[in-house]
Amino acid sequence: MEAKVFIGSAAGFAGDRSDAGVPVVEVLAKHSGPRFLMYETLAERTLALCQLERRKDPTRGYSPALDRLLMPVLKQCLAIGIRIVGNFGAANPPAAAQRIAEIAQSLGLRAPRIAIVEGDDLSGRLSATEFASRETGGKILAQSCDIISANLYLGAQPIAQALDQGADIVVTGRIADSALALGPLLHAFRWRTDDWDRLAAGTLAGHLLECGAQVTGGYFADPGAKDVPGLAEVGYPIAEIDADGDIVITKPAGTGGLVTRLTVIEQLLYEIHDPAAYLAPDVVLDVTGVDVVEIGKDRVRVTGARGKPEPEMLKATVCVEGGTLGEAEISYAGVNAAARAALAADVIRERMRRRAPGLTIRVDAIGAVSVLGNSSVAADLRASESEDIRLRFSAQSADTAQIEMLLDEVEALYCAGPAGGAGVRRRATPRLASAACLIERRYAEPRVTLFGASA
Amino acid sequence: MKRTVRLHEIANARSGDKGDRLNIALVCRDPTHYAAVATQVTAERVAATFAARNPTRVVRFDLPKLAAFNFVLDDVLEGGVNASLGLDGHGKSLSFLLLDLSVEIAGASKPARMGKRQSV
């Protein structure tokens, strides 16, 4: 039995810093015992974008961040024996494995043993109607039957199996984020699959790590109230977990950021609803009895997670076409800026009401009334004393012509709108809508294959 | 002796989203403030704070061991990050709207801090 397992996080989302993993790997290299580096790169919509990519080119469809994230650490990880677990396979884990093999070769490294976890993709396995009847908390699928991607969240066991087979690198598609840590723990500690409290602890470790720096001082700094040293070089987290599931969260010495009771609790509750019942594929996690204790500089111990048997149904994310999002901006500044901006908003509303009567248009006045406001911007704006206002108009529709019409109207404010309108920027972006479904467990058929092994 | 402070002075908050549902974790920096916050920052008061976003339900989960609360607000993200027309579809900035609420805590009053913002 291993005394301690070390799991570092090198990415909390696909857009995360490519150099984040380097100091983490340096610390892992100094420890003995099983060491893992995890990457979480799949937001709700990412997988659908990758599925579209795969349709265009069957060798693509994995996370576009793969090269950027792996390049800086692959050599050290393979040399030292730090095993990598990541969901950067996205819509095409076999293609990601192929790409990783190519990267290793291009860097002159030994050929890594890469395991591929599949079985999350539900495409073609349920009809649009069957998905729609399983949607929770919305009616997106009832209105659209053009499904782009449908993936359920696998649990930790296929990752553990892949590691049992000696994988240096485990590539998955959609999988519960926390499973990226629980999988290595199941592999290292041989926890039983009904050892609910330990599964809960492993899930909690994964939850604390899955957003990268969000537990070590990222998404935390608030000058004067919550100061964070060295935010520009914030260190990414490392969890040290023992066989009983006791967790210590820390970060590489010499990096920025901090690990305190407060950074840990903020992340502990991040994106959680009922703290007594956080649903993961392998266990239901209860954090209400958790103790969070500072035991040293940048060292916080987390104990007391409790588990209940796994939920009957699995979550799936289903993405459909969402039409086109149009956004156009224009600035008004200086004397009487608020009144001129409010007039511009009125002009656009009046013209669009006539030209595209059904289209909902949102108006934000950035710097005066935007994220905290509601839709009655023009009224709020007239009362504003701001002399530096950027108006933003937005709308979404399946009818691209209507969106272009809005963007044209905003651009026309240059010559035909109020005085001093400046700096128009416009763009139309295709949009995807995502729905959450609850799917019967029998649809989950996780498969583990080794890259290069004959199928 | 009691004094009135903004939550920002005594607590941390972090927003997270899932679909059209927002959660805001509120953590007391000093656990001794937990009881005062529990009494005054009720689900009803939070619902009123976010009235402009028309929550269909607001639930507060209490975590006394962590000196924290988890507020869950349903249907406040204009359909969620993949549907909202707004600039903050995740609702990530909304934790700071919660921190604008005032509470009374024990202790001698200090001079008011700078920084005033209009509430919605």
Tell which CATH architecture fits domain B2-101: 2-Layer Sandwich (3.30)
Residue (of A139, A80, A133, A71) closest to A105 by Cα position: A71
Q: For residue A380, what pLDDT is reported?
A: 75
> A257-304, pLDDT tens digit by residue?
999 999 999 999 999 999 999 999 999 999 999 999 999 999 999 999
Burial of B37 from C-beta contacts in 10 A (0-12 / 13-18 / 19+) = buried
Interface test with A, best of B66, B72, B84 (most A CBs within 10 A): B66
CB contact under 8 A, A271 and B23: yes
Q: In this prediction, what percent of chain A has a pLDDT beyond 90?
A: 90
**Closest CA in chain A for residue B9:** A225
Assess whether pLDDT exceeds 50 at residue A389: yes
Burial of B38 from C-beta contacts in 10 A (0-12 / 13-18 / 19+) = middle
Given a contact cutoff of 8 angstroms between Cβ atoms, the answer to whether A61 and A50 are in contact is yes
Residue A122 one-letter amino acid: L
Residue A332 — very low, low, confident or very high, per pLDDT cuts 50/70/90?
Answer: very high
Q: B97 in contact with A at a CB cutoff of 8 Å?
A: yes
Q: Which of A270, A373, A434 sits opposite B120 (nearest CB)?
A: A373
- pLDDT mean over A364-391: 79
**Closest CA in chain A for residue B10:** A225
- Measured between beta carbons, which residues in chain B are less than 8 angstroms from residue A226? 12
Q: Which of A270, A290, A374 sits opposite B16 (nearest CB)?
A: A270
CB contact under 8 A, B70 and A273: yes
- pLDDT mean over A307-322: 95
Interface test with A, best of B22, B85, B101 (most A CBs within 10 A): B85
Encoded tokens for B90: 């995740």
Q: What are phi and psi of A439, to 5 degrees?
A: -120, 140
User: Read out DSSP for B34-60?
Assistant: HHHHHHHS-HHHHHHHTGGG--SEEEE
Assess whether pLDDT exceeds 90 at residue A384: no
Q: Which of A269, A371, A435 sits opposite B93 (nearest CB)?
A: A371
Given a contact cutoff of 8 angstroms between Cβ atoms, the answer to whether A176 and A155 are in contact is yes
Q: For residue A137, what pLDDT is reported?
A: 79
- pLDDT mean over A238-255: 98
pTM, whole model, 2 decimals? 0.94
Domains and CATH numbers, chain A: 4-119+154-310 (no CATH), 322-432 (3.30.70.600)
Alpha-helix residue ranges (DSSP H) falling in A31-92? 46-56, 66-70, 74-80
- Measured between beta carbons, which residues in chain B are less than 8 angstroms from residue A44? 81-82
Q: B100 in contact with A at a CB cutoff of 8 Å?
A: no
Q: For residue A375, what pLDDT is reported?
A: 52
Q: In this structure, how many other beta carbons lie within 10 angstroms of the beta carbon of residue A105?
A: 12
- Measured between beta carbons, which residues in chain B are less than 8 angstroms from residue A371? 86-88, 93-94
Q: Is A103 helix (H, G, I), strand (E, B) or coil?
A: helix
Q: In this structure, how many other beta carbons lie within 10 angstroms of the beta carbon of residue B67?
A: 23
Interface test with B, best of A262, A288, A291 (most B CBs within 10 A): A262
CB contact under 8 A, A287 and B63: yes
* Pairs of residues, one from chain A and one from chain B, whose beta carbons lie less than 8 Å apart: 114
Q: Is A162 helix (H, G, I), strand (E, B) or coil?
A: helix
Q: Which of A265, A272, A362 sits opposite B23 (nearest CB)?
A: A272
Given a contact cutoff of 8 angstroms between Cβ atoms, the answer to whether A264 and A257 are in contact is no
**Closest CA in chain A for residue B73:** A273
Q: What is the ipTM of this complex?
A: 0.94
Residue A168 — very low, low, confident or very high, per pLDDT cuts 50/70/90?
Answer: very high
